[in-house]
Structure 1
Amino acid sequence: MEFCDECGSMMKTEGDHWVCGSCGHEKLRDGAKEEAMVTTQGQEESEVVDMSEAGDEAMGPTTNARCPECGNEKAYYEMKQIRAADESETRFFTCTECDHKWREDDH
């Protein structure tokens, strides 16, 4: 990814040049610099971790949250950023009684 030296906008490639879509500034592409860039293309997805045999201490903190399946009032929770960085995190819950999993988003 390359950013414009003039206005700071993200640039895109057009042949052997980087071109800014906002101000039209162009600069030559540098093959060695691009080779060092890290991309998500071709990377493996992260491994799913099986927590089914984990003890309570490995499950993380608990909170008061009503399970929609069994009505239990306590659940393990974790927060993850799964949307854009400028949006709030999503809370994931796992019931301490029936292991039902659900999530809660801020709307």
Structure 2
Amino acid sequence: MQFCDECGSMMKTEGDKWVCGSCGHETIRDEAKEAAMVTTQGQEQSEIIDVSDAEDTGLPTTNAQCPSCDNDRAYWYMQQIRSADESETRFFVCTECEHKWREDDH
């Protein structure tokens, strides 16, 4: 992929030139430079790994009493669920039974 030196737009190939679709600027194609470019056809397919059942959710944990199973550890995160001038709501997810509850700032 080549970008225009004049306006920064993406350029297209037309024969032996790169041509900017926005401003019309043209440059001569350089085969050595193009060989080093990575294309979507040249990229390898990556393996998708399912981590939905993984124990680590990536969320921080804290001491919090689960109202469902009395476990004392929970993952937590903050989310804005009301208008922007209201404080965020803190959500907890039990590390044992995965029960979810919230704690509003008052």
TM-score of the aligned structures, taking structure 1 as reference length = 0.51
Q: Secondary structure at the match of 1:34?
A: helix
- Could you list the runs of 5+ residues in structure 2 that have no partner in the other structure? 60-74, 79-91, 100-106
Root-mean-square deviation (Å): 3.3
1:24/1:46 CA distance change after superposition, 3 Å = same
Larger fraction in helix: 1
Which residues in structure 2 correspond to 1:1-107 (within 5 Å)?
A: 1-51=1-51, 54=54, 56=55, 58-61=56-59, 62-63=75-76, 74=93, 96=98
1:74·1:96 contact (CA, 8 Å) conserved in 2? yes
1:74/1:9 CA distance change after superposition, 3 Å = same
**Percent of residue pairs bearing the same amino acid type:** 64
- Give 1 or 2 for the bigger CA radius of gyration: 2
1:36/1:42 CA distance change after superposition, 3 Å = closer
Q: One-letter code of the match for 1:10?
A: M
TM-score of the aligned structures, taking structure 2 as reference length = 0.51
1:53/1:9 CA distance change after superposition, 3 Å = closer
Partners of 1:64 and 1:2 in 2: CA distance: 42
Q: Secondary structure at the match of 1:3?
A: coil
Structure 2 counterpart of 1:81:
none
- Could you list the runs of 5+ residues in structure 1 that have no partner in the other structure? 66-72, 77-94, 98-107
